[in-house]
Amino acid sequence: MADKSVPLSKKYQVHGVAFDSLTVREPTGAEYWSIGPIAEWQPTGDGTVMVSHRDALRSYAERLVEAPAGATAPAILAVLSLADTLRIEGALKGFFTEAVRLNEPPTS
């Protein structure tokens, strides 16, 4: 899977560095083993529900968002609007969705 360029809704500035898009790279196997899944299915009496692991998503974002020179990923993530934060989250989730899809057995 290729890195994802995420256009943002506006231009931001952190530590004198301006940006209006961010690149999110694909997680490695080592990062997955270290951080873990971003969600899991939990059985309930009424069926199943998906539980998101917010702490895992944040850890992935801090590692995988490529900060422009002179800034850090945590500083960048701290200033994003909610809409742009959800764009980054969507890019992260997309890597996991695609990996699961690629590992599904073919149907005939």
pLDDT, tens digit, 9 for 90 and up, residues 27-55: 999 999 999 999 887 777 777 776 778 89
Q: Say how many domains are in the chain.
A: 1
Residue 108 lies in a domain: no
User: pLDDT-derived band of residue 13, with 50, 70 and 90 as boundaries?
Assistant: very high
Residue 85 lies in a domain: yes
Residue 57 lies in a domain: yes
Residue 33 lies in a domain: yes
Tell me which residue range forms the domain holding 86.
4-102
What is the pLDDT at residue 92? 95
What is the pLDDT at residue 39? 84
Question: 63-72: per-residue pLDDT in tens?
Answer: 999 998 889 9
pTM (predicted TM-score): 0.85
Average pLDDT over residues 82-103: 92
Average pLDDT over residues 102-108: 77
Residues 6 or more apart whose CB falls under 8 angstroms from that of 78 comprise none
What is the pLDDT at residue 49? 72
N-terminal to C-terminal alpha carbon distance within the chain: 25
